[in-house]
Amino acid sequence: MKPLLSKTTKPFLIYVLIVLMVSIPVYYFVVDTIWKSELDEHNQIIVEKTAYEFNQLKLSDEELEKSLQLWNQIQPETNIERISADHIKGDSIYTNERALPFISEQKKERYRCLRKVIYIQNKPYLFTIQTNIEESHETIAVIAMITVFFFVMIVVGLLYLNRKLSTSIWKPFRNTLDRLKTFNLNSQNKMEFPSSDTTEFEELNQALHKLIERNISIYKTQKEFTENASHELQTPLAIIKNKLDLLLQDQDLTERQYSIAEDMNKALTRSSRINKNLLLLAKIDNNQFDNSEVISFDHLLHQSIDLLQEHFEQKNISFEEKITSDIKVNGNSSLTEIMINNLIINAIRHTSPGGSIFIQLTDSSFEVSNSGTEKLDTDLLFKRFSKLSANNNGSGLGLSIIQEICKFHHWTVNYKFENCYHIFSVNL
């Protein structure tokens, strides 16, 4: 995972790099065009000034010819030659490349040239002037170096500013995040966020404040319902069960009445068990259990096995155990005991008479295996009230409770079918 700033900075730097790379040829063409324009203006001034100076000298024809010859010799980049009136044309501006004869290297130079007809003592002359243009590859190299320099400056400056500004700009967000990390719904404390002068952060704080208040209100309602249901529903169920027990003890009951009352008693017992299990699931969902205990897992397991020993004997189930001593885990002892009992009872209930059960405990896993004939449907395995067998004695919530208890303790429960054995394992 990457911080938000790094995700926004990287595209920005790539965009800046692309823009600066594109700017290099643009810079070159713009500068080259400006140079040519300046050189054209420079050449035009030289031509006009030269013609003006020669006219001011008022030389004779012979002196003028000697002066022009001398001019052409001492000014290698210019040439003045006499032309006839028939050869008079408009000005010509162009760029030329040629090698310099006085340099040993085979190197060509660019020249900006101007051909213009001037009049000296009312006679037409063709004035040609060539001015050297700065070498293009040197210009590109300089522009590229400057661009790279500024790109490095932008990168360094941006990273520095991001680091400095993020501390102050994102401080309200960090404060909000830290407060949310410490929020516990069980404490039901109202969350107060510090005010911020940033609109988005202030809107976030207000939205979170409303959301937390709404969740606290819903949590209180659910908790009150759980507590009320625990007291109000269990009491009438207990009264009805006691009345049925008294009715079943009545000697005047006919066999048919007794059978009906016995069926009612079984249904009522199952309803009471379902109610208790649903209340337990609601309490787990509402985080109404403490998970800070240090539990002796092997001790709880031995207790459960001793209490359920008679069930093994009733169904003639062969039992084998392999339990590592002194296994300590952090969690809630009541929920852990419920999980152990549910796994073992589930194995007993779904093991045929004469079958076998194997229980194993290590420092990293708890495993219950029971003999069977075919694999269970894993899609329905941990769903509430799902029917995986024809046995109707259970509430249909045992495996769901096991899964919720494992989630509460941050454990994982898995199922597999190997060698005609159903294997439920809990990774501690």
3-state helix/strand/coil string of the chain: CCCHHHHHHHHHHHHHHHHHHHHHHHHHHHHHHHHHHHHHHHHHHHHHHHHHHHHHHCCCHHHHHHHHHHHHHHCCCEEEEECCHHHCCCCEEEEEEEECCCCCCCCEEEEEEEEEEEEECCEEEEEEEEEECCCHHHHHHHHHHHHHHHHHHHHHHHHHHHHHHHHHHCHHHHHHHHHHHHCCCCCCCCCCCCCCCCHHHHHHHHHHHHHHHHHHHHHHHHHHHHHHHHHHCHHHHHHHHHHHHHHHCCCCCCHHHHHHHHHHHHHHHHHHHHHHHHHHHHHHHCCCCCCCEEEEHHHHHHHHHHHCHHHHHHCCCEEEEEECCCCEEEECHHHHHHHHHHHHHHHHHCCCCCCEEEEEECCCEEEEEEECCCCCCCCCCCCCCCCCCCCCCCCCCHHHHHHHHHHHCCCEEEEEEECCEEEEEEEC
pLDDT of residue 140: 73
Query: Rg of the Cα trace of the chain?
Result: 49
pLDDT of residue 34: 86
Contact at 8 Å (CB) between 277 and 384? no
pLDDT of residue 395: 58
In angstroms, the first-to-last Cα distance of the chain is 28
pLDDT of residue 386: 66
CATH class of the structural domain 293-427:
alpha beta
pLDDT of residue 104: 55
CATH topology of domain 4-154: Beta-Lactamase (3.30.450)
pLDDT of residue 391: 54
Query: Which residue, chain included where needed, has tokens 């054209």?
Result: 40
Burial class of 397 by CB neighbour count within 10 A (0 to 12, 13 to 18, 19+): buried
What pTM was computed for the model? 0.49
Whether the CA torsion 289, 291, 294, 299 is positive or negative: it is positive
- What size, in residues, is the chain? 428
Q: What is the pLDDT of residues 134-170, one digit of tens each?
A: 766 677 778 788 888 888 888 888 888 877 777 777 7
Q: What is the pLDDT of residues 46-85, one digit of tens each?
A: 999 999 999 998 888 888 889 998 998 888 789 999 888 7
Residue ranges for the chain with pLDDT beneath 50: none
